Structure 1
Amino acid sequence: MPAQSANSTSPAADRPPAARDTDALLRAELGTAIRKLRKERGLTLVQLAERAALSHPFLSQLERGLTRPSMPSLHRIARALGTTQQVLMAAAAVPHPDIPVGSAHLVRSGEGLPVARPGGTARMLGAPAYSVHPVEYTGMSEEFQDYYDHPGDEFVYVMTGEVEIELQAAEGPRVHVLGPGDSICYPGGTPHRWRAVGDGSLVRLLTVQNATGEADRHHS
């Protein structure tokens, strides 16, 4: 099967040196986590590329911390490895210098590895040691993308903007419209997708997914 485009994001060369150093460290952590799990699964780079429908050169750069994936390509990699995007993103967390190691995990505004997604970015706020994976989403596409599903239950809270969340239930798809202050929870394994209502640049929401399953324990 021909490899599809990775839709990766390149490191921003115009960021301040300190920010570039942090970004490089986070990319290296993410690449190490992917390589470690790939080897635990007994897969070569070529085999993982085929399973994820991504290019072998892109995955090689990713594992070496030279690039970072978009949310859709990270989803493909995670599915091919039997885990979730959130688990891989959490693996890229690094301890904050203001907090003693092991006591807490602090993420300041603007910190964390941003991962591009249609219409905006996602930023992991958690770390592997914790049983929940909080992610901040800023900006959102005004069109529905592919469905996502994962083993962990998920909580979604809308801070700004308005979104439609479509959930695939036993009786068929159900669309829920959420505005600022609204929230929704749905069980793990539920196929879901989101889109902005109106201006997608106004959307900002927080999701919290619980880490469950054997694949997650590899990173705990």
Structure 2
Amino acid sequence: MDDKETPRVGAAVRRRRRALELTLAVVAERSGLSVPFLSQVENERARPSTRSLEKVADALCTTAVELLAAADPARSVDVVRADDQGLHQGLPKGALVRQLVRGHHHLQAMEFTGDHDAGREFQHRNDELLYVADGAAEVEAEGSAYRLGRGDTLYMTGGVRHRWRATEPDTRIVVVALADHIDAVEDRR
């Protein structure tokens, strides 16, 4: 893979670890990954799979999306082409995750295609929107199940625990969210 296909997350991992005042050994223990591997990731000598990046993110009390967003410098204008490659590592066969917004911004957007870990539960600090571009999906949120088809959207306020899964082959879900590092303030007028 070339550099454009897989963002370099090492500096973002190191910054986050140091901000939390954690050693590599603590992150290794929390993530189940080895100290040498984590050192290689931080020094850009190894690139973690999607699953390993999720483990590192969990150990650092953040998300893989946040680490990926912090990997690129902020830009005022950026085009992500339809043929830009996604992250393939650690995903079920045929699955694809593609960032639609690169860099460290207030808005995050990702496109998920194919099967994903339906058992993984998410909870984001800020609001989130799921849009079914193709196919169909089931979402469990706040104790209720929702079936979504092509063109449907589901909006969740920050803090809602949820999980989702594709129910048809080649389903494409676009997730748009306010970044977790943003303090969304409610207008109480």
- How would you bin the TM-score normalised by the shorter chain? 0.7 to 0.9
Q: For 1:130, what is the secondary structure of its paired residue?
A: coil
Aligned to 2:58: 79
Alpha-carbon separation, structure 2, partners of 1:129 and 1:144: 27
Alpha-carbon separation, structure 2, partners of 1:112 and 1:131: 23
TM-score, length of structure 1 as denominator length: 0.71
> More displaced, 122-131 or 46-55?
122-131
Aligned to 1:146: 120
Q: For 2:159, what is the secondary structure of its paired residue?
A: coil
TM-score, length of structure 2 as denominator length: 0.81
Aligned to 1:4: none
Alpha-carbon separation, structure 2, partners of 1:189 and 1:134: 18
1:48-77 deviation digits (Å, cap 9, x = unpaired): 111223332332232233443344433332
Q: For 2:4, what is the secondary structure of its paired residue?
A: helix
Q: Which aligned pairs between 1:53-92 and structure 2 lie closer than 5 A?
A: 53-92=32-71
Alpha-carbon separation, structure 1, partners of 2:31 and 2:17: 12
- Which of structure 1's runs of 4+ aligned residues deviate more than 6 A? none
Please list every run of 5 or more consecutive structure 2 residues that lacks an aligned counterpart in the other structure. Answer: 184-189
**1:192 counterpart (146, 154, 162):** 162
Please list every run of 5 or more consecutive structure 1 residues that lacks an aligned counterpart in the other structure. Answer: 1-11, 13-19, 96-101, 216-220
> More displaced, 174-183 or 186-195?
186-195
In structure 1, give the amino acid aligned to 2:165. Answer: R
- Structure with more of its chain in helix, by fraction: 1
1:33-58 deviation digits (Å, cap 9, x = unpaired): 11111112211111111122333233
Aligned to 1:22: 4
Aligned to 1:211: 179
Alpha-carbon separation, structure 2, partners of 1:125 and 1:92: 14
Evaluate the alpha carbon distance shift between residue 21 and residue 83 of structure 1 in structure 2; reply closer, same or farther with a 3 A threshold.
Answer: closer
Native 8 Å contact 2:137 2:167 kept in 1: yes
Q: Which aligned pairs between 1:1-220 and structure 2 lie closer than 5 A?
A: 12=1, 20-23=2-5, 26-27=7-8, 30-93=9-72, 102-111=75-84, 114=87, 116=89, 118-119=91-92, 120-141=95-116, 144-167=118-141, 169=142, 173-199=143-169, 202-213=170-181
> More displaced, 179-188 or 119-128?
119-128
